[in-house]
Amino acid sequence: METRRALVTGAASGIGAACAHRLAADGVQVVAVDQDAAGLTDLKALGIETLAADLTDLDGLKDLPTDIDILVNNAGIQHVAPVEEFPPERFGYLLRLMLESPFNLIRQTLPHMYRRGWGRVVNISSVHGLRASPYKAAYVAAKHGLEGLSKVVALEGAPHGVTSNCVNPAYVRTPLVTAQLADQALIHDLTEAEVLDQVLLEPVAVKRLIEPAEVAELVALLCGPASASLTGSSLVLDGGWTAH
């Protein structure tokens, strides 16, 4: 893995930071990207290359490295509102960040992967790429779109040694999830603790938040030596949500 170079988006915290740490532990040369430059400081201190970038600036993505063997599309945000109150500009912003940006990053890194005859595209999707929840129109739409994009890349990349997969966690202990508690509390007229128990964890059998390191382990599996035939799949880490 020492010859591989990875680009991880949304790497300043949560799942992205965990993925950057995990891949670096395997010897991968990691490029950690996030618009939060200050949040990348800890990774930089460990010798991981960091880049501050606004991933919704689609033209600006051309400035990111393209000699990438492993692409981890992780960056994401959430907005909670009923459809009739959902701001259209916010809907578009979420789709740019979580669907258009991954498409553009995949598009510009595939040629390098094809030339090398090896590549791994890992899309951090969500259980919401497979199931819907109220009040999350943009997030659910983006993740469903990411699932389809990932499968197309799997089919096109297979002759070139490139795999493409999604990782689908339920609620992970990240700033994105903790920030939802207040929004959901307001919508449902509950306390934040009640939101965690009665809304976020209600559909799952394993009643706890997932840790970012658990997601990172699946990412490492998809990039490892046993992953050549694992493509076009969605690896579900949802505590039993989709077992219903």
**Which residue of the set 93, 114, 139, 171 is catalytic?**
139
Token look-up 């994105």 returns 176
Radius of gyration (Cα) for the chain, nearest Å?
17
Is residue 139 part of the annotated active site? The answer reads yes
Helices vs. strands in the chain: H and E counts, helices first: 8, 7
How many angstroms from the chain centroid is the CA of residue 64? 18
For residue 47, the SS3 value is coil
Contact call for residues 116 and 70 (beta carbons, < 8 A): no
Task: Determine how many CB atoms are found less than 10 A away from the CB of residue 197.
Answer: 12
Q: Give 102: exposed, middle or buried? Use CB within 10 Å, 0-12, 13-18, 19+.
A: buried
What string of DSSP letters covers 104-169? Answer: HHHHHHHHHHHHHT-EEEEEE--GGGTS--TTBHHHHHHHHHHHHHHHHHHHHHGGGTEEEEEEEE
Active site residues: 139
